[in-house]
Amino acid sequence: MNKKIPFLLIFMVGCFITGNMIGAGILGLPIKTGVAGFWPSMVGLLALSAALFFTAIVLAKESIKRRQEIFHYPSLYQEYFGHAGKWVATLANLTILYGLLTVYLTGSATVIARLLNIPVPRFVILLVFFAIFTGITFLKPKLLFKLSTLFVVLLWISFGILVVMGERYVDASRFAYQDWKMLPAALPIIVIAANFHNIIPTICKKLNWNLRDILLAFLFGAVVGFVMNAIWIQIGIGVLPLKGAGGILHALQKSLPATVPLANAIKTPLFIQAALMFTLTAIITSYISIGRTQIDFIDDVITNYTRMPRSAALNFALAFAPPLIISLVYPDIFLDALDFVGGIGKVILFGIFPCILAIRSMRSLAKRLLIAVPALLLFCVILIFKVGQGLGLSHIKRGVNYWTNNFRPHNYKPQDEFRK
């Protein structure tokens, strides 16, 4: 018989879920969703949040069924889809982990360089950040937890300051702009901002595999995360113009986190400091967590899928060298990397595969048709658009030529870049 879980623990786990959601994804939300407009973005956020909540329940039930101390999604999918499923899941997981580490490195360097105006090359900032916070990932778990807790507290404080100050500068007339054809372009980053699936096995273990308590924690954490994402989109779209220097299209072209153009638009010292703190704490907490996860996952892959001997140095090199090299070669890849992670890695691992599991296990045809199938179709649409974009097959011609490297309005003039 399971012990009764204290409500305080459920509350704390819910906060942990929200903290996991508020990372690099939220930093790019207003920029990527801004090209579609506020109301299309809200519809996309609501639909994907509901679909991801459904797949979180599916994966939680799978975790409860196994009650494993160490749970890896590739092993789960191997049970259902064979070796092909295992390798697809492994590649998807590597896409997520490598992509996110790249996002954190490029995002941190961009924000520090632009908001602090440090007179050193950006690659130097990136290397310093990499050295410090990669080193922190090797600290003892107890000390690491204390540091992470401190960063999360700073994250909440800075976000509160940004919201209170940012609301004063919101122009409600900007919410009238809508371009529904651009909504598919916004969906991959919403996937990143609305999911917490990588920590589901940890949550299930923490709550003694009790489905009711797990669902309560999921609901609290996901709802708070949804509200924070919605508020951040509202502030970003409400404060930033669509066109002109410092606008949404300009930030999209330069691959900037939303905090950079917002700080430039509001220009008060407190807001700039809060923007810097929010960005860095969101990145640092996630970087430390993903870095540890990547090392463990690389070790698992080498141990179980190859005949190579275990080596801490090799694990470190395979975990961190690829994202570091990519970040140095492509320093302006922040938003593109987020798109790639959300539109391919997370959609496959935490969207499409769980929906297929649900369709296979659901006894009720009505539930399949009303819940699992629409969710599966939504995730498949995102994947198809993202793959089509990569192959040069996806084109949307209205307002913004989003699917090429030149983000320009159809009536673009060079002087627009310098107009407020």
CATH number of the domain that residue 234 is part of: 1.20.1740.10
What digits encode the pLDDT tens for the residues 277-324? 998 888 888 888 788 888 888 887 887 777 777 788 888 899 999 999
Residue 179: inside a domain: yes
Q: Cα–Cα distance between 132 and 109 in angstroms, integer?
A: 13
pLDDT at 400 over 50: no
Structure tokens at 225: 């995360």
| Residues listed for the chain | 420
Percent of the chain with pLDDT over 90: 55
Whether 244 and 419 have beta carbons less than 8 Å apart is answered as yes
pLDDT at 414 over 70: no
Residue 414: inside a domain: no
pTM, whole model, 2 decimals?
A: 0.86
Domain count along the chain: 1
pLDDT at 270 over 90: yes
pLDDT at 166 over 70: yes
Residue 383: inside a domain: no
Residue 399: inside a domain: no
Residue 420: inside a domain: no
The per-residue b/e assignment along 312-346, b for 16 or more CB within 10 angstroms, e otherwise, is eeebbebbbeebbebbbeebebbbbbbbbbbbbbb
Q: Which SS3 state, helix, strand or coil, does residue 293 take?
A: helix
Whether 347 and 51 have beta carbons less than 8 Å apart is answered as no
User: Which range among 15-29, 56-70, 392-406 has the greatest average pLDDT?
Assistant: 56-70
70 or 335, which is more confident: 335
Residue 363: inside a domain: no
Q: Facing residues of 398 across strands?
A: 400
Residue 389: inside a domain: no
Q: Which domain holds residue 131?
A: 7-342
Residue 354: inside a domain: no
If one counts every other C-beta atom within 10 angstroms of the C-beta of residue 141, the result is 8
32-59 average pLDDT score: 96
Q: Cα–Cα distance between 74 and 48 in angstroms, integer?
A: 23
Q: Cα–Cα distance between 87 and 78 in angstroms, integer?
A: 8
